[in-house]
Amino acid sequence: MADPAAKRGPGGAVGDELAQKVKKAKTDDEKDGGEAESDNVLFGFKTCSVLSDSSREKNIFIHGKLADQDAVVIMEKTPIREDVLAEIFSDSSLKLEMRNDIYSTYRLQAPSHLNEIKTTVVCPATEKHVKKYQRQESFLVEETGKDYQSITLPYIQEQCFSVQWVYNILEKKAEAERIIYEDQDPKVGFVLLPDFKWDQKQIDDLYLIAIVHQRDIRSVRDLTSEHIALLQNIFQKGKDAILQRYNLPASQLRVYLHYQPSYYHLHVHFTKLSYQAPGCGVERAHLLADVIQNLQSDSDYYKNRTLYFPLRKDDGLLSKFKEAGRL
């Protein structure tokens, strides 16, 4: 069992010290080669369309071409951190926009290293990726255990996203330096690492995923009482590792699984309770604690139970439910 976290973080306190702690962890990652300088892979990117954007969330999802390949680029302005305020106040230039009585507004040009845009690139992107990020109307689907067997399972066996990125993590071919904790046991083991939606610069939007070593569990639908030990192991050791590394207690965490997930290899989401992560709503997130209890009371709970989830208007699975007269 390897625990790279153990060598990194001493304990710490809340507030400023937490920010310092994330900063320190980040610095250690940089030393490990976790944040390498890269070429501008977006040079020559040609925008085809804006799939969605949000001025409130300050992000934009773009479909375009990179050297004739389809690509999706996600750009997101990052939160302003307390630990960089002093630098912003002292090293920025400030242009007055308007002044009225005690009120004034400015355009502040922060130093470039404090003005980064978190950018995610999917290339080559499939049509399914483009659809996934497109703003669309959603519909709530009611899936019985029978529907899962006759509609959903055949569809995901043919149509789901590749989980090659997951295997790369489990085999240490990618993101190895980002691993926070690993239990290598083939039955109850898992890898815990930052989700790629989290830039690790502040605890406020903490987001990690635990990916199980077992490769034949697609989603909650495959879980039975046989998997309780695995789930309890992830729950306990995941919470312990997060406490040790980020000084964040279990009472500040939302630990859950998605149904439907995008990637059908069992994984558990760990997010900060106060952070409204995409997909943390009741129509998609199943608390790990509830999943464990449901399996304890009925081994076949997730085989038989009707589950509800939203599907986007042009999701192929939605068409399958319509064709089967289930919507």
Contact 61, 49 (CB under 8 A): no
Of the candidate spans 13-21, 109-117, 189-197, 227-235, the one that interacts with ligand GTA by CB under 6 A turns out to be: 189-197
Q: How far is it, in rounded angstroms, from Cα 320 to Cα 327? A: 9
Binding site feature residues for substrate:
165, 175, 195, 197, 258-269
Closer residue to ligand GTA, CB minimum distance, 133 or 190? 133
Contact 291, 112 (CB under 8 A): no
Q: How far is it, in rounded angstroms, from Cα 212 to Cα 192? A: 9
Contact 237, 176 (CB under 8 A): no
Binding of residue 92 to ligand GTA (CB under 6 A): no
How many helices (H) and strands (E) in the chain? 11, 14
Contact 254, 280 (CB under 8 A): yes
Which residues, numbered 198-217, are part of the site for ligand GTA (CB under 6 A)? Answer: 209
Binding of residue 51 to ligand GTA (CB under 6 A): no
Binding of residue 262 to ligand GTA (CB under 6 A): yes
Which residues, numbered 58-77, are part of the site for ligand GTA (CB under 6 A)? Answer: 59, 74, 76
In the residue annotation, 267 being an active-site residue is answered as yes
Which residues, numbered 100-119, are part of the site for ligand GTA (CB under 6 A)? Answer: none
**Which among 63, 129, 227, 267 is annotated as catalytic?**
267
Closer residue to ligand GTA, CB minimum distance, 197 or 326? 197
The total of other beta-carbon atoms located within 10 Å of residue 303's CB is 14
Binding of residue 197 to ligand GTA (CB under 6 A): yes
Q: Return the structure tokens found at 267.
A: 């994984």
Backbone angles phi, psi at 124, to 5 degrees: -75, 140
CB of 287 to ligand GTA, least distance (A): 14
Contact 259, 307 (CB under 8 A): yes
Q: Which residues are catalytic?
A: 267
Catalog residues that contact ligand GTA under the rule CB under 6 A.
59, 74, 76, 120, 132-133, 165, 175, 193, 195-197, 209, 258, 261-263, 269, 278-279
